[in-house]
Amino acid sequence: MSSSSSPRGFALSSRLVHWVMAVLILAMLGLGLFIAHSSTVHYVTLLHLHLITGVSLLVLVIVRLLNRFVVPTPELPADLTTPMRLGATGAHLALYGLMIAQPLVGWAMLSAGGYPITLGGSVTLPPIVPHNPALWANLRQIHTILAYAFIAVILLHIVAALFHGLIRRDHVLSSMVSGK
């Protein structure tokens, strides 16, 4: 049962950061897959867009975590089974872990490859690991694996949201869509 301090729906700030990040994550993953599996004359431009999106998401996940600690969130429905609660908690932890790990691994990968991360103009991020071609190769594989894991967890998240909205009709989905 919900406590009196637990809101029925997510606050506007929580919903905004969720949906902005959702769009950016899907764009970043789609762009990454496109870049990895095609050759295009726009490779450098698309790669830079992917990089900027990743850095933006790293900043946004920090904002999202701060928001989550400050703004109360609704409790899960009281009638959820223990396995469903564990699944929801595990999926959210996986999403947050991937939202943090994926851009950091990308940053480390580019650092290890000796590639500067220029955000625009003269703004360049410092390398977070030393230049090391072998490390670059390993981090590139990890970045790819994390991307596919991210896609799998996102699909699971979407299926769970639709399950709550269309089958259970327990207001979990509407609490993130409309805050009600």
pLDDT category of residue 5 using cuts at 50, 70 and 90: low
What pTM does this model have? Answer: 0.90
Using an 8 Å Cβ cutoff, are 116 and 131 in contact?
no
Count of residues in the chain: 180
In total, how many domains does the chain have?
Answer: 1
Residue 3 pLDDT > 50, yes or no? no
Q: Is residue 3 assigned to a domain?
A: no
pLDDT tens column, 122-175: 899 999 999 999 999 999 999 999 999 999 999 999 999 999 989 998 888 888
How much is the pLDDT for 138?
Answer: 99
Domain range for 48 is: 12-177
Q: Is residue 117 assigned to a domain?
A: yes
CB atoms within 10 A of CB 109: 22
Q: Is residue 161 assigned to a domain?
A: yes
Q: Is residue 89 assigned to a domain?
A: yes
Q: Is residue 66 assigned to a domain?
A: yes
- What's the CATH code of the domain at 128? 1.20.950
